[in-house]
Amino acid sequence: MTKSQADVVRVALEILDEHGADAVSLRAIAQRLGVRMNTVLWHAKSKARLAELMADAIVAGASLDDLPRDWHERAAEIVRRYREALLAHRDGAAVVAGTYAAEPATLDTAEALVQALLDGGLPPREAAWTCWSLIYFTLGLAQEEQSLPERSLSHPSVGERPALRSVFSFLSEESFDERFEFGVTKLLARR
């Protein structure tokens, strides 16, 4: 049976979800598909290209249907859906953060977010930079959230750092949903 690029990406995401980013390889995909490496390389060309395709498939999980009309709520909802798409796959944020995927789903998500910001009256430069700030914030927080089970449960000592000691309980909270909403609210503060 002939395999397609979609088959290669689907299997790559299956391996990602089952075993994590480190287990995804062109060889592992070929073995799972029951094909030669050349077949996988025909569709993915390289591990970097495979990562771009995987990243775009992950971002494609962020539906752009039925978004709110208000620019502020629309932008916040797009970023919420983006985060959910990242968290839907084991190491999803790490895969997406490790690429610069100029692929359809990634570009569509950026288009929708930038349009919402432009609709809110942001000048083009500010809309672009706010878009990047929202994306980078979301990627970073999602990576932290996804890596949490692998981290030690003990908290490091901050030593003689009074400012850090005074806020440490807040820095070490695992309330990712609240931290996410706080950050999005700050980045989208109405002018």
pLDDT average, residue stretch 143-161: 72
- Count CB-CB contacts under 10 A for residue 126: 14
pLDDT band (50, 70, 90) for residue 107:
very high
Measured CA to CA, the distance from residue 116 to residue 76 in angstroms comes to 9
Better-scored residue on pLDDT, 153 or 167: 167
What number is the average pLDDT over the span 5-13? 95
Rg from Cα positions in the chain: 19
Could you tell me the two tokens for 7? 């088959």
| pTM reported for the whole predicted model | 0.90
Q: Which has the minimum average pLDDT: 22-36, 91-105, 112-126, 164-178?
A: 164-178
Q: State the pLDDT at residue 158.
A: 76
Mean pLDDT of the chain: 91
Contacts by 70-74, CB closer than 8 A, 24 or more apart: 71/116, 71/117, 71/119, 71/120, 72/116, 72/120, 72/188, 72/190, 74/112, 74/116, 74/119
- At 165, the pLDDT band (50, 70, 90 cuts) reads confident
Express as a percent the part of the chain with pLDDT over 70.
92
Distance CA(125)–CA(9), nearest Å, equals 34
Structure tokens at 24: 């995804």
Residue 169: per-residue pLDDT: 77
| pLDDT digit string, tens, across residues 56-99 | 999 999 999 999 999 999 999 999 999 999 999 999 999 999 89
Position with higher pLDDT, 156 vs 45:
45
